[in-house]
């Protein structure tokens, strides 16, 4: 059985929530999209990504193809309106078929896997600081406070389709395992150890865990919109 919890919050310093999400156990699809601050109509780009990906998956597309179609459509819409700045969004999505899962992402929204009492980030941020970490220029600890930590290197509506890097990962989702999808509004304020402590409470429902994570992000400062989706197999 699949159980999931979900919540989005504008945070404590923004007037507009540019995050959005989707969850559907029947379709076996969950996603989080973070409309990019600084780009006009970030909330429009995120909503477009959600609707297009859901429709594409319903029509039989795999996650990678659905995300590429969303990128093309958002770029087309932005050009049609003559926007001075492109509107952009990150996306992280998960599909579950039986006991198998597939995740796909663009940008710095993340997916974590909880397995055997251990939390692992299985996505790989498309961000400037992640490139610096890969080069050995800074540590992961330094990245948390880097002035350019919110700069993404890939985003739907911003990255040209031929340069879009939709990363995917497949795995097994056994009973007791959990997939956590979130925008950077969570990970900006709550570190992985704190996230793991919340997910370790097996007696809590998925929704209670999600509520606890969003509350922790607000307690940490709530500097951005925060969105959390937790999918759990029983």
Per DSSP, the residues of 113-151 read EEETTEEEE-S---BHHHHHHHTTSS-HHHHTT-TTTT-
Inform me whether the pLDDT recorded for 92 exceeds 70.
Answer: yes
pLDDT at 37: 61
Give whichever of 35-39, 143-147, 192-196 has the largest mean pLDDT: 192-196
Query: In the chain, what is the greatest distance between 2 CA atoms, to the nearest angstrom?
Result: 52
Picking from 211, 208, 209, 185, the residue whose alpha carbon sits closest to that of residue 196 is 209
Contact between 217 and 19 (Cβ < 8 Å):
no
Q: CATH number, domain at 109?
A: 3.60.40.10
Picking from 96, 101, 158, the residue whose alpha carbon sits closest to that of residue 126 is 158
d(CA 71, CA 85): 15
Mean pLDDT of all residues in 187-192: 96
DSSP 8-state code for residue 107:
S
- Give the chain's domain count: 1
pLDDT at 39: 61
Supply the pTM of this predicted model.
Answer: 0.96
Per residue in 106-121, pLDDT (tens digit) is 999 999 999 999 999 9
Which range of residues forms the domain containing residue 211? 2-233
């Amino acid at each position: 059985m699949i159980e999931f919890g979900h919540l989005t919050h504008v945070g404590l310093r923004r007037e507009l929530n540019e995050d959005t999400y989707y969850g559907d156990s029947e379709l076996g699809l969950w996603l989080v999209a973070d409309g990019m601050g600084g780009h006009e109509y970030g909330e429009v780009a995120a909503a477009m990504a959600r609707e297009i990906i859901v429709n594409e998956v319903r029509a039989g597309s795999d996650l990678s193809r659905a995300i590429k179609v969303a990128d093309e459509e958002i770029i087309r819409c932005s050009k049609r309106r003559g926007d001075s700045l492109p509107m952009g969004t990150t996306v992280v999505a998960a599909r579950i078929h039986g006991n198998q899962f597939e995740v796909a992402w663009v940008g710095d929204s993340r997916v974590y896997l909880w397995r055997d009492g251990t939390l692992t980030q299985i996505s790989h941020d498309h961000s400037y600081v992640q490139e610096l970490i890969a080069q050995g220029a800074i540590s992961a600890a330094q990245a948390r406070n880097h002035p350019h930590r919110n700069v993404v290197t890939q985003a739907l509506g911003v990255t040209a389709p031929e340069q879009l890097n939709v990363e995917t990962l497949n795995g097994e989702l056994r009973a007791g395992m959990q997939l956590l999808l979130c925008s950077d509004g969570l990970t900006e304020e709550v570190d992985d150890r704190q996230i793991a402590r919340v997910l370790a409470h097996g007696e809590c429902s998925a929704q209670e865990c999600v509520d606890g994570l969003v509350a922790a992000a607000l307690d940490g400062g709530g500097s951005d919109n925060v969105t959390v989706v937790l999918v759990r197999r029983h």
